[in-house]
Amino acid sequence: MSRGFNNKYLRFISQVTLAVASFPMKWVSLLIPVDKKIWVFGNAYGYKDNPKYVYEFLLKNEDHTVRPIWISKNNAVSDHGILGESYYYLSLKGLYYQYRASAALLATGMNDVASFTLGNKQIIQLWHGIPIKKLLLDSVETSPIPPRFKYLNKVFFQLLKKKLNRYGMVCAVNEHNQHCLARAFGLRLDKVKVTGMPRHDVILESAKNAVKKTEKSKRILYAPTWHASLEDARNWLSQVLNPELLHYCQLNGISVDVSIHPLNQALATDTSLFHDVTLLQCDDINEQLKNYDLLITDYSSIAFDFSILGRPVIFSCAEIEKYAKERGIYEDFISLLHEQNATGKSLIEKIDDSLMDGRKVASIYDYPQLGKARSKVIEEVKKLI
């Protein structure tokens, strides 16, 4: 049994166990009146990304029609670095405000906060990236049940669709993304709003406010996606960061930073992988993108985030067709990956061409709400409540 299957299976069992144990608490949410002013924000991975950006935008602009409250899943750091009002999700105050809130703004799923408090409110899915890989209802990988059990998988996806239908709104960056997310979440198109992505506002603002570089040296960020197998992640990391590439970078005064996906952080302890590169350790990768001249990735949505800066993105992917068959890639992006893909010597050549050119490059996606996403999200949530 693969590590990826084990992880999915254990996660599924824990979610089912939690759902059963908290079932009586769900009924409480149906009895408690909501306060339209109270909005709660959460992210299972901590104080970061789209919920944080909308939350802080409300605080900064002093919108007196909304009382934003951050809900932390980690009691040890429940107030570390968090602005405004925040509570641990299982504390008395945390539970009280989660039950009373009229809206919950999330990044990954309903477990970003105490899911049993969500029965009486609008659930807003800000999401955490533009998907290249198929997700949720579009992906067979979503199910922890082996494919041979077809009936059980059918039941699983029916139950998942019912759960996803509880979302009052999902946020998209454009019409193409809107249709993609509507299908993945099993929602009517009018429930997926083209608001833009709040993190893009922050990336642009941080770049605008950045101190202009005086040195001529270039910086590359290598940020691969999550791989279910640590061995696969390790192998591709070593293939991209090969001696020839690192030698080229040293000769040309190019520094290379590596950002490991949060779910593959076990690789960070393997020092043999990170010769002549710097392992990037930061709370928020989005606010660091301004520091780089070029991005290398594989199947990660960070490509779309970085491209809004008008800087080059290079895809370096192993066995695209095999990955598409096993993991699933949205068809519209397979051609993009093939066109932009570079490995071995061609990767070095592409880096050289991109950095020597120095001109601003066109974004690889369309962003009609760029720079206005936080305001648009708030506007749409107010319509719902």
Reported as a single tens digit per residue, the pLDDT across 148-160 is 999 999 999 999 9
Q: Considering the entire predicted model, what is its pTM? A: 0.90
> How far is 273 from 275, CA to CA, in rounded Å?
6
Confidence of residue 286 (pLDDT cuts 50, 70, 90): very high
Q: Where are the chain's structural domains? A: 20-204+371-384, 213-357
How does DSSP assign 49-79, residue by residue?
A: HHHHHHHHHHHHTT-TT-EEEEEES-GGGTT
Q: What is the pLDDT, as a whole number, of residue 2?
A: 47
Q: What is the pLDDT, as a whole number, of residue 168?
A: 98
Reported as a single tens digit per residue, the pLDDT across 230-262 is 888 888 888 899 999 999 999 999 999 999 888
Q: What is the pLDDT, as a whole number, of residue 301?
A: 93
Per the prediction, the chain carries an average pLDDT of 90
Q: What is the pLDDT, as a whole number, of residue 173?
A: 97
Question: pLDDT over 70 for what percent of the chain?
Answer: 92
CA distances from 76 to 46, 87, 88, 291 (A): 11, 11, 9, 31
Beta strands 278-279 and 254-258, pairing class: parallel
Reported as a single tens digit per residue, the pLDDT across 78-116 is 556 788 999 999 999 999 999 999 999 999 999 999 999
Q: Report how far Cα 122 is from the mean position of its chain's Cα atoms.
A: 21
Fold of 213-357: Rossmann fold (3.40.50)
Q: What is the CATH number of domain 20-204+371-384?
A: 3.40.50.11820
> How far is 301 from 283, CA to CA, in rounded Å?
18
On the question of pLDDT at 19 being above 70, the answer is no
On the question of pLDDT at 351 being above 70, the answer is yes
**Mean pLDDT score, 150-179:** 96
| Amino acid code (one letter) for 129 | G
Among 119, 142, 144, residue whose Cα is nearest residue 131: 142
Torsion of CA 372, 170, 130, 189, to 10 degrees: -100
Q: What is the pLDDT, as a whole number, of residue 74?
A: 85
Reported as a single tens digit per residue, the pLDDT across 112-129 is 999 999 999 999 999 999
Q: What is the pLDDT, as a whole number, of residue 238?
A: 87
Structural tokens at position 30: 């149906």
Reported as a single tens digit per residue, the pLDDT across 43-85 is 999 999 999 999 999 999 999 999 999 999 987 655 567 889 9
Whether the domain at 20-204+371-384 and the domain at 213-357 fall into the same CATH topology: yes
Place of tokens 């030698």: 247
CA distances from 298 to 21, 177, 301, 314, 340 (A): 39, 19, 9, 8, 10
| Amino acid code (one letter) for 178 | Q
